[in-house]
Structure 1
Amino acid sequence: MSERRQDYKRHGSRYKARMRAVDILFEAESRDVDPVAIIDDRHKLARDTNPIVAPVAEYTETIINGVAVELDTLDVFLAEHIAETWTLGRLPSVDRAILRVASWEMIYNTDVPVTTAIVEAVEIASQYSGDKSSAYINATLDAMASKVETLRERAANPEAVLAEASESLDDAPVAPWDDSDALDDSDEDFESVDAAEVFEAEETVEVSEVAEDSEVSKVSEEKADES
Structure 2
Amino acid sequence: MKRHDARQKALQVLFQLDSTDLPVEQAIEHVLEEQPSDAFLEQIVRGTVEQKEKIDATLSDKLENWTLNRLPKIERTVLRLAVYELLFMPETPNRVVLNEAIELCKVFGDEKSSKFVNGVLSKFTEQ
Query: TM-score normalised to the size of structure 2?
Result: 0.89
Aligned equivalent of 1:38: 27
> Matched residues in 2 for 1:34 and 1:97: separation?
17
Structure 1's unaligned 5+ residue stretches are 1-11, 47-51, 148-227
Aligned-residue CA RMSD (Å): 2.1
> Matched residues in 2 for 1:108 and 1:137: separation?
19
1:36, 1:64 within 8 Å by CA — same for their partners in 2? no
Matched, 1:92 2:69: no
> Matched residues in 2 for 1:20 and 1:136: separation?
21
Aligned equivalent of 1:59: 40
Aligned equivalent of 2:8: 19
Q: How does 1:65-214 map to 2 (within 5 A)?
A: 65-82=46-63, 84-147=64-127
> Matched residues in 2 for 1:98 and 1:111: separation?
19
Figure out how many residues of one structure are paired with residues of the other and give that number: 127
Query: TM-score normalised to the size of structure 1?
Result: 0.52
1:25, 1:64 within 8 Å by CA — same for their partners in 2? yes
Structure 2's unaligned 5+ residue stretches are none
Q: Which region of structure 1 is more displaced relative to structure 2, 91-100 or 16-25?
A: 91-100
Once the two structures are superposed, residues 48-95 of structure 1 have per-residue CA deviations (whole angstroms, 9 ceiling, x without a partner) of xxxx4312221110001111111100001111112x232211112121
Pairwise CA distance, 1:31: 1.4
Once the two structures are superposed, residues 138-172 of structure 1 have per-residue CA deviations (whole angstroms, 9 ceiling, x without a partner) of 0110001115xxxxxxxxxxxxxxxxxxxxxxxxx
Structure having the higher Rg: 1
